[in-house]
Structure 1
Amino acid sequence: MHFQLTSEQLQIKELARQFADREILPLAAEADVKREFPMQVQAKAVELGLVNLTLPESVGGAGLGCVELVLVTEEFCRACLGIGTALCVNALAYEPILLGGSEAQQQRYLAPLAQGRFASFGMTEPGAGSDVAGIRTRATRTEGGYRLQGSKIWISNAPLADYFVVFAKTDMAASHKGMTAFIVEAGTPGVTVGPAMGKLGQRAAPTAEIFLDDAFVPEDRRLGAEGSGFALAMAVFDHSRPMVAAFGVGLIQRCVDESLAYARSRSSMGKPLIEHQAVAHKLAEMQMRLEAARLLTYQAAWLVDQGQRGTMQASIAKAFAADAAMWCATEAIQIFGGMGYSTEYPVEKLFRDAKVLQIYEGTSEIQRNIIAREMARI
């Protein structure tokens, strides 16, 4: 057992750090205010091979592993969680095609992503978030394919996407066993993408509703067999949750960086803030949670790369990193005092960006349910 990254992984992490500092960080505040994703950042990241890292070389990807993905994700999200999310979340959309798609589907739909296009993962509905099996979007078999009826909400990158991986019920009475996944192209008649939704944080990552009004999807765009959608989604989450945990790790690192710099430069009662034990203990606790979140995230990613079942570890990493990010963002504002509440400093943005980490990709409560279930199974 060892805890060292390879020289290649260190090079990738450093390249991502330099890119984040040069291309993402200077745009973060403006992108948050304007609620816009800076497309030029995507183009530059594609040019350097820093996005869609786990796409296989056969479709033009880098063919790297989940560990490399979380290393890059962490650096991007340290600079800006909104921009970083938009850059990285393609991995959530293409993972179902990697895991459940045919060779023809992979060639047709993955290659454009390697060239800089976008796709979205469509699971959440207005009435079904944590209750994945409760989705009501239905897919009715018809000649040559299916008719999809329903809607999805909180779909990341939906306004940018060329297609969506949509989960629907082919058997409404069969609960999770009636769920099936489909590739739905954005230009399909009956498919409408709503305007970008207003959000508390991560405003640079566009999020929208998708409306499916009797949209026809050919049978060759179904992923796997009918009824296999739930199992596919659960497998996807095992692969994607380490990446989402890395969202939190990056944000925690930024909280540490900003808080430490401020505590060194700002004085109170005749000495720097860092020399006050109350502040020093907050910084120490931040660092403790950062180290723990990072190690848990790397472990979960490593299990993916080893082909091992890591459901519990992925949920632990995701829940811990999300909760730690929210705690650290809250304490960062406390260290900054009144200035932490001001938009003059970045910590108020970190606070707003952090909260949704405890909600999307399975709430922190749902992660604890998964962990307890896995404990009982083991």
Structure 2
Amino acid sequence: MSLNPFDLFDIRSLLSEEERAVQATVARFTDTRVLPIIGDAFDEGRFPDELIPEIAALGLLGSSLPEQYGGGGLNAVSYGLICQELERGDSGLRSFVSVQSSLCMYPIYAYGSEEQRLRWLPDMATGKVIGCFGLTEAHGGSDPAAMKTRAVRDGGDWLINGSKMWITSGPVADIAIIWAHTEDGIQGFVLEKGMAGFSTQEIKHKMSLRASLTGALFFDNVRVPDRNRLPNVQGLKGPLGCLNQARYGISWGPIGAAVACLDEALAYTKQRVLFGRPVAATQSAQIKLADMARRITTGQLLALQLGRLKDAGQLQPQQVSLAKWNNCRMAIDIARECRDLLGGAGITTEHVAIRHALNLESVITYEGTETVHQLVIGRELTGINAF
């Protein structure tokens, strides 16, 4: 019996019936709704927002949150599979779902009041309210503690000044989860579109995540009522807890990008004839393809165990760092190798490899660069902080 080239260790057999159903549903959506339009959207630098109602209808926004807040109550493995199948289409689409679910809905659920949960989460689950997450600043990057955005009490309100950079969904978001220094440490606030002094600017000229909206956020004495402050967390553990949720999903997403690239490379090398035989009949091509399959299989097993640990309540942030580092590196290397196997054709967006390779330049950078995650593991091994 032939093995599935994209599941050599029959990982599907390790999934529950519900997990398999979730993966199959999102895979169909990616095949029928995403893949036919995403190449053009990437070329045009356009986020396909027409897909948002369908994404919401499938229950992909806040899928792991309780049903009472509009979520689907799915487990962590199911959320990982959602990210994997969406990123098989495009990293930009997975980024949208990741930001909405892990970076915006999660902090309101985990750190917000019951009033805030009921006010925003159901509408976010339906896509009626779009969120963005404001932590990164232009000068800060990997050092979030160096943020310059400040929130100062003014009576029963807060005045916020500062800016945020590289914010997915920023130009179209209805609310923004903003982290700022206060006299009591770093705190989170929910800013609403239309608040005086709150403005956004789309970032243009991107060569990566072109099918995603990225922006900068600016705060000029934005008056925010205290009821919009997330009351149940203080300090960096707030935003870092959100990032850990997002990094978990990113550990799964690049597997989908890698599978898409391998799928294309297999078909192309079997069809393309050079020197009297298909490229796939050469030893050099087969060695490359086999190595890709090995790395994908390793990444799949790593992600699945990560999900099982998360569902068991045993997940450690260092394990997320290792998986994010490994799987992003795996995927970007595979995308580049597949581009090479396609030859000159590989540089056009009529094929998926170059699009995924370009997107993965962002994925390997955001939510902690590869170097940051390497240093997290180094600190865990040695007990010495080298940051």
How far apart, CA to CA, are the structure 2 residues paired with 1:78 and 1:343? 15
Return the match for 1:238 from 235, 239, 244: 244
Backbone CA RMSD of aligned residues: 1.8
**340-349 or 106-115: which moved more?**
340-349
Return the match for 2:363 from 357, 365, 369: 357
How far apart, CA to CA, are the structure 2 residues paired with 1:135 and 1:118? 24
**After superposition, where does 1:100-111 map in structure 2 within 5 Å?**
100-111=111-122
Return the match for 1:220 from 192, 214, 227: 227
Instruction: Measure how far apart 1:366 and its partner are.
Output: 0.5
Given that residues 180 and 225 in structure 1 are in contact (C-alpha distance below 8 angstroms), is that contact kept between their aligned partners in structure 2? no
Instruction: Measure how far apart 1:55 and its partner are.
Output: 2.4
Instruction: Measure how far apart 1:22 and its partner are.
Output: 0.4
For normalisation by structure 2, the TM-score amounts to 0.91
Return the match for 1:157 from 153, 158, 169: 169
1:209 aligns with 2:221: no
Instruction: Measure how far apart 1:217 and its partner are.
Output: 1.2
Amino acid at match of 1:341: I
Q: Name the counterpart of 2:72.
A: 62
Amino acid at match of 2:138: P
Q: Name the counterpart of 2:159.
A: 147
**Does the C-alpha gap of structure 1 residues 330 and 166 become closer, same or farther in structure 2, counting only changes over 3 Å?**
same
SS at match of 1:194: strand
CA-to-aligned-CA distance 1:109-161 (integer Å, 9 cap, x gap)? 21111111311111000111101111110111111121110000100111221
Q: Name the counterpart of 1:112.
A: 123
SS at match of 1:238: helix
Q: Name the counterpart of 1:335.
A: 341
Q: Name the counterpart of 1:174.
A: none
For normalisation by structure 1, the TM-score amounts to 0.93
Amino acid at match of 2:173: A
How far apart, CA to CA, are the structure 1 residues paired with 2:173 and 2:380? 34
Amino acid at match of 1:162: D
Given that residues 238 and 310 in structure 1 are in contact (C-alpha distance below 8 angstroms), is that contact kept between their aligned partners in structure 2? no
Provide structure 2 residue ranges, at least 5 long, that are not aligned to the other structure: 1-10
Q: Name the counterpart of 2:140.
A: 128
Return the match for 2:106 from 59, 72, 95: 95
Amino acid at match of 2:149: T
CA-to-aligned-CA distance 1:256-283 (integer Å, 9 cap, x gap)? 1111111111122211111111111111
How far apart, CA to CA, are the structure 2 residues paired with 1:26 and 1:257? 16
How far apart, CA to CA, are the structure 2 residues paired with 1:148 and 1:211? 10
Identity fraction in percent: 32
**235-244 or 315-324: which moved more?**
235-244
Given that residues 197 and 206 in structure 1 are in contact (C-alpha distance below 8 angstroms), is that contact kept between their aligned partners in structure 2? no
Amino acid at match of 1:138: R
Given that residues 306 and 315 in structure 2 are in contact (C-alpha distance below 8 angstroms), is that contact kept between their aligned partners in structure 1? no
Instruction: Measure how far apart 1:377 and its partner are.
Output: 5.5
How far apart, CA to CA, are the structure 2 residues paired with 1:317 and 1:94? 23
Return the match for 2:58 from 40, 45, 48: 48
Instruction: Measure how far apart 1:225 and its partner are.
Output: 5.5
